[in-house]
């Protein structure tokens, strides 16, 4: 996989600032008015080589993340927030998942999902938020469970929120085979 642009902090930030002012700012009101996913903004980022900022360089991304240049990633987010907070929240979820995949996915998963982000512009987010009210028969505060079965997992439960869900190709769900609440101490990413 090849990165669309050669990483340089100043170049990345200048290019993003230009896109923010020339394209994203003018689209913000329409996205807000229609409550629609900012697909055109993500497409613009993809074509500018800025769609995979936290994907490691070896997989074709810019390699910004906790082990490298987190400041530039934060500055990119801040630049987007100047003109469109809703889009920025979608962007933030997308980039946070790149950081989480970098840290937690196995090599096969990284190759598969980073290729989709870098080569096809696939968009990600994390599913979070359990319903506040328990459903009949639910005995724990968090109702999503995961059970290991032959050939994989059974994930059962409800999530009530995923930023930008209607425009995503993928979402990540954090669960634990160690039971409810164990996610803080022993957790897994269930992905196929």
**Which CATH number do you get for residue 47?**
1.10.540.10
Taking residues 118-131, what's their average pLDDT? Answer: 78
What residues have CB less than 8 Å from 93, skipping those under 6 apart? 124, 125, 126, 162, 163, 164
Lookup: tokens for 120: 């096809």
Q: Is 127 within the bounds of a domain?
A: no
Query: Residue 63 domain-assigned?
Result: yes
What's the pLDDT at 141?
61
Residue 68 inside a domain? The answer is yes
86 domain-assigned: yes
Which residue has better confidence, 28 or 171?
Answer: 28
Reduced to 3 states (helix: H, G, I; strand: E, B; else coil), residue 58 is helix
What stretches of 32-177 adopt beta strand conformation (E)? 124-126, 145-149, 152-156, 170-172, 174-175
Pairing status of strand 152-156 against strand 145-149 = antiparallel
For residue 3, tell me if it sits in a domain.
no
pLDDT tens column, 40-50: 999 999 999 99
Backbone angles phi, psi at 181, to 5 degrees: 85, -15
Residue 51 has pLDDT above 70, yes or no: yes
In the structure, what pLDDT confidence band is assigned to residue 139 with cuts at 50, 70 and 90? low
Its domain, for residue 31, covers 9-105
Is the pTM higher than 0.85? The answer reads no
Looking at the structure of the chain, the number of domains it has is: 1
């Amino acid at each position: 996989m090849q990165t669309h642009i050669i990483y340089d902090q100043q170049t990345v930030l200048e290019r993003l600032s230009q896109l923010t002012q020339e394209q994203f700012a003018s689209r913000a009101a329409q996205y807000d008015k229609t409550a629609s996913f900012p697909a055109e903004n993500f497409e613009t980022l993809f074509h500018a080589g800025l769609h995979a900022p936290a994907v490691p360089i070896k997989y074709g991304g810019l390699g910004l993340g906790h082990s490298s240049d987190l400041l530039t990633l934060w500055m990119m987010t801040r630049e987007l927030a100047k003109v469109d907070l809703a889009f920025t929240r979608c962007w933030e979820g997308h980039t946070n998942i790149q950081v989480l995949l970098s840290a937690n996915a196995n090599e096969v998963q990284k190759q598969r999902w980073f290729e989709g982000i870098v080569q096809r512009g696939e968009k990600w987010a994390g599913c979070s938020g359990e319903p506040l009210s328990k459903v009949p028969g639910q005995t724990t505060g968090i109702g999503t469970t995961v059970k290991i079965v032959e050939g994989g997992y059974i994930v059962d439960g409800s999530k009530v929120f995923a930023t930008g869900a209607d425009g995503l190709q993928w979402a990540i769900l954090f669960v634990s085979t160690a039971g409810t609440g164990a996610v803080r101490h022993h957790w897994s990413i269930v992905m196929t």
